[in-house]
Amino acid sequence: MSRSREVVGDWVGAHIICCKVASSCLLFIAVGFIIAGAVLVSSNSGSWDFDKEDFDDFSERQSRFSAGIALIVFGVFMLICGLVFLCCVFQLKFVRKAVKSTNSQQQPTPYPPAAGQQVTQPYPVQPYPSQQGPGQQMPQPYPTQPYQPSPLAPPPPYTESEVAPTAPLNEKQ
């Protein structure tokens, strides 16, 4: 299970960076498209008089106006995609935090201790009984708290009349 969490953590870490880059690029490009489209629409909008303009000038203004509308629509679409990617970045951060918190409890620290510090391990390293010599005895770990035996009370008196049978009597004879 820890291997799959490690793989998920690596996958999330790689995709957070990709989503950050993609969302920032999409947001900047979307704002640029919306601004460029708004400029094209505002400069080429207006009343077109078919009698006084020639046909080529009319089609050129109309194509710029259409391109401005297309840039605005495409910019809004890219803005929505960039915001979705940004939301994915925040969700992946929560996933990475959840995966790392469970992995940090299971794995020791990856860096070596500094000079002069003693390495502490969660469990004492002891050889297996098969690795010991014939006359050696395994050292016992020190208890974390002093052992205090609990006071023992004498057992209650046993009388057959007070005890109910726990199993049915077998009356085969």
Give the tens place of pLDDT for each residue, 32-64: 999 999 999 998 877 665 666 565 556 677 888
Per-residue pLDDT, 95:
79
**Is 0.75 surpassed by the pTM of this model?**
no
Rounded CA-CA distance 26/53 in Å is 39
Domain boundaries, the chain: 2-47+55-105
Per-residue pLDDT, 53:
58
Rounded CA-CA distance 83/30 in Å is 11
Rounded CA-CA distance 125/138 in Å is 11
Per-residue pLDDT, 35:
96
Whether residue 126 has pLDDT greater than 60 = no
